[in-house]
Structure 1
Amino acid sequence: MSVKTNEDVDSKKQQILKAAQRCFSRYGFSKTTLDDIATGVGIKKASLYYYYENKEAIFRDVIDTETKGLISELRRSVAQASSSTEKLFSFAKTQLEYFRNYVNLHDLSVQVVLEFKPLINKLYKNLREQQIEILEEVIEGGIKDGEFNKCEALRAADSILTILEAMKFKEFQVTTVQYASDIDYSKVEEEVNYILNMLLEGMKR
């Protein structure tokens, strides 16, 4: 009987994640079964348990893999904007669009999003730090150019990101729709822009 090396395990996990991504995209999280994922990999369902304890654990790694693309998207959108104010609005818009596309791709129910929020927040710890770094750079640039008043850029960046996240998940707490794809994201974007405008009024010179 051959012994699985770390490389073997990592390789198989990547195959499982790719198969899971396809299944979640096709059937949605709730309707995807471990049998579906196992079939996609070409192994028996029982073999999945060597790598993952359940579907939620697989989904966790899928989330971790996919959301890393958010940082590159945010940096791209910020780089394309001219003023620091526009960069902040572009950041907020890109973040919301990425989230909306993500929940639509996997056909997530509102209940699933809320259930996974603590897990997502935990996985986002590193990504959150990177997002704050981007916002801090934008704010420091605005201060240097005379667009913003002097302030603690890091603290301001953390506050802005916290508010953006709170506004995004607020709708999930009060909505009556079943699926996240049915949420009116234009309303969320409008509220985000309103709050961001208020914050920027206090930051501008």
Structure 2
Amino acid sequence: MDNQDKKRLQIVDAATKRFTHFGMAKTTMAEIAKDLSISKASLYYYFPDKMHLVMAVTEKLVSSIFDALNQKIFKLQTLEESIYFLLELKLKFTIDHYNLLEMILGTFSETPPELEELARKSHQEEINIISKLLQQADQRGEIKASDPDELAEIFSNAMTGMRFSVLKDGRRIILPSKSKFDEMVKKQKKLAKLIIKGLKQA
């Protein structure tokens, strides 16, 4: 990581702390620059406005969950255990960062293209992870998966479809309540168990 990347990361970390403690509306670029003992001009060199900084904070949050997933998920022993871990980690991530996520999504009256693209990439990354899990399970003889990429897309879309009506309202992404998230994960686990049972019998 070069010096520019390090500085950019420092700015994102400082902004995340500010946004979490004081809210986005009450946080100014000048305050973030002051926290880092840099000039506003230096801050604007990396981020031309607060919206670009908000997107960078969001990207880092999303990246952190995939880092945590990749550290453990492929070491688990069964497909069901791995899928449950994925769903539980996403739930924990959402609960841990609920206030910040709520502020981020509340910043936009409509979902910006950059956030939609980030959501698309995240969904594809999840599909890739599930595909690898299916391949591992097939190699262990746990299931039969002749086309793991296609199965992974179906699997992920089924999980997404279960929460779609709660998470989406027109073009604006909405966070459901924490209790709703817990309810969705329980239903997703039941659906995942049914899908895995079917793959074992294929």
Alignment-mate amino acid for residue 202 of structure 1: G
Give aligned pairs, total: 195
Q: CA-to-partner distance for each residue in 1:1-33, whole Å, 9 max, x for gaps?
A: xxxxxx665454333222212112212334433
Task: Give matches, 1:49-198, under 5 Å.
Answer: 49-79=44-74, 81-105=76-100, 108=103, 111-112=106-107, 115-116=110-111, 118-123=113-118, 127-173=122-168, 180=175, 182-184=177-179, 185-198=181-194
Give the direction of change, closer, same or farther, for the CA distance of 1:168–1:79 in structure 2 (3 Å limit): same
Identity %: 21
Shift in CA distance, 47/83, structure 1 to aligned 2, threshold 3 Å: closer
1:202 equivalent in alignment to 2:198:
yes
Query: What is the aligned-residue RMSD (CA, Å)?
Result: 3.2
Separation in 2 of the partners of 1:114 and 1:137? 37
Runs of 4+ in 1 over 6 A off after TM superposition: none
Query: Equivalent residue for 1:37?
Result: 32
Query: SS of 2:103's equivalent?
Result: coil
Counterpart AA for 1:37: I
Which blocks of at least 5 consecutive residues in structure 1 are unaligned? 1-6
Evaluate the alpha carbon distance shift between residue 88 and residue 9 of structure 1 in structure 2; reply closer, same or farther with a 3 A threshold. closer
Determine the C-alpha separation between the residues in 1 that align with 2:183 and 2:34: 40
Partner Cα distance (1:113, 1:98) in 2 = 21
